[in-house]
């Protein structure tokens, strides 16, 4: 290692130490179960909160084991989907009564998209989708189109605002691109869709819990998101559905289950939807995973999303600086935007041999993930990731690549190739 590189590394260490010492969220890390691993995969599965195990122990041994059926009323099981939805609401900029928790992200995308199509005028027969969307969103949009007699048109997320026209019923857009970490302008795109007479459905899987979202202020119609990434709800944790209050009387779910009936225990043969956001429910709530999520949300007590966003940007800035200073030139090229206004909370690097490189990183205690064919993803969760972690990750990446893992990147990319095959890391959704 040259003297210049050694000096640069020492300067980065000093910078990491200073940033960690001044971090207003440093104490929040103690609310998680962590070890010596540098965990940079919170954009796939968040870390375990220390509050979850005690809460689940009570749910299993007392609420289920002792109270049994009485817990639907006495332990608040029945109202958990709305109650926990109201806990998520401030994290996505929503007033109470507009978020319900339950089902998977995929199911909620289907509910939101079909309901939006049903709200649109009959002559609006087009569904716009982000061309780089996570595959499931595209599959569901295609299915919704077949079911409703609509057509799907895929366009670049940056062009959706201009693409909407008098035939557009709804657009399904990802707030943050799952491969590149690019953040799209939710406010401007929603306004443009409304100006074109179309509705907006947003996928918040890679933004909620990592950066500010203002669903009410920006006039979003419907939104969905998972809870096992930056909300740390646990593997397979239920997703959530946001329905803007003004649209709730018109929300016609394509999955009208007994739990969303106006009188669920009346067992009537004809369906009558409940008032408000409960009409977004379908079947019996997933109580164990719901209450694990409820406990996980305790980590947000006293935490401001603005502080989370500030640290997220500082962390990703610092990691990018570390990569630039330490990683051999040409071995890894950032494809995540440098502009803060266009960056989520992950850094994606184009790196040939990404699968092999990530396996070696994981073996050395740096856990991220990759996407075919050549994208390394590092998700930064500000609630528990330290600047020292970012520096250590860059150091190990530099060592792995200097040792011959991966090959030189031929050219700076302008886009990430789309996948056409299954994902390489099990995540449930994205």
Which residues have a catalytic role annotated?
134, 203, 228-229, 377
Asked if 14 and 342 count as a contact pair (C-beta separation under 8 A), the reply is: no
Alpha helices (H) along 186-282: 186-195
What is the spatial distance between Cα 328 and Cα 72, in angstroms, rounded to a whole number? 58
Q: Which residues pair with 192 in a beta bridge?
A: none
Cis peptide before 373 (omega within 30 of 0): yes
Query: 3-class DSSP state for residue 265?
Result: helix
Nearest of 243, 227, 279, 14 to residue 104 by alpha carbon: 227
3-class state of residue 375 by DSSP: strand
Q: Are 290 and 81 in contact (CB under 8 A)?
A: yes
Distance CA 281, CA 313 (A): 36
Residue 135 vs residues 41, 335, 406: alpha-carbon distances, Å: 20, 20, 27
Gap between the Cα atoms of 218 and 410, Å rounded: 41
Task: Give the β-pairing of 99-101 and 240-243.
Answer: antiparallel
Residue 358, SS3?
helix
């Amino acid at each position: 290692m040259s003297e210049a590189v050694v000096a640069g590394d020492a300067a980065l260490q000093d910078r990491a130490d200073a940033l960690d010492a001044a971090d207003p969220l440093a104490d929040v890390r103690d609310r998680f179960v962590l070890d010596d691993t540098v965990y940079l995969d919170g954009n796939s599965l968040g870390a375990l909160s220390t509050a979850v195990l005690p809460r689940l122990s009570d749910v299993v041994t007392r609420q289920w084991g002792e109270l049994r059926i009485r817990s639907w009323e006495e332990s608040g099981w029945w109202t958990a989907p709305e109650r926990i939805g109201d806990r998520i609401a401030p994290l996505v900029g929503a007033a109470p009564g507009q978020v319900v928790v339950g089902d998977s992200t995929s199911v909620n995308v289907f509910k939101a998209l079909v309901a939006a199509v049903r709200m649109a005028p009959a002559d609006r027969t087009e569904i716009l989708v982000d061309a780089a969307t996570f595959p499931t969103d595209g599959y569901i949009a295609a299915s919704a189109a077949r079911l409703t007699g609509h057509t799907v048109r895929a366009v670049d997320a940056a062009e959706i605002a201009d693409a909407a026209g008098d035939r557009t019923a709804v657009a399904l857009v990802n707030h943050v691109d799952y491969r590149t970490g690019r953040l799209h302008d939710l406010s401007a795109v929603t306004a443009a869709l409304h100006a074109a007479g179309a509705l907006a459905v947003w996928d918040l899987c890679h933004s909620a819990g990592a950066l500010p979202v203002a669903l009410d202020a920006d006039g979003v119609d419907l939104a969905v998101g998972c809870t096992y990434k930056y909300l740390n709800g646990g593997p397979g944790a239920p997703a959530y559905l946001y329905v803007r209050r003004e649209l709730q009387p018109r929300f016609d779910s394509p999955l009208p289950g007994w739990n969303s009936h106006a009188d669920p225990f009346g067992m009537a043969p004809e369906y009558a939807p409940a008032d408000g956001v409960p009409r977004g429910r379908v079947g019996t709530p997933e109580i164990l995973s719901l209450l694990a999520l409820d406990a996980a949300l305790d980590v947000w007590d006293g935490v401001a999303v603005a502080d989370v966003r500030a640290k997220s940007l500082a962390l990703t800035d610092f990691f990018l600086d570390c990569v630039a200073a330490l990683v051999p030139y040409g071995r890894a090229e950032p494809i995540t935007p440098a502009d803060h206004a266009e960056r989520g909370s992950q850094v994606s690097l184009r790196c040939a041999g990404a699968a092999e490189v990530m396996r070696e990183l994981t073996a050395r205690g740096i856990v991220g993930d990759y996407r075919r064919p050549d994208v390394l993803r590092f998700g930064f969760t500000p609630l528990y990731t330290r600047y020292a972690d970012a520096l250590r990750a860059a150091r190990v990446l530099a060592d792995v690549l200097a040792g011959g893992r991966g090959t030189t990147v031929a050219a700076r990319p302008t886009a990430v190739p789309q996948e056409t095959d299954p994902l390489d890391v099990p995540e449930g959704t994205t």
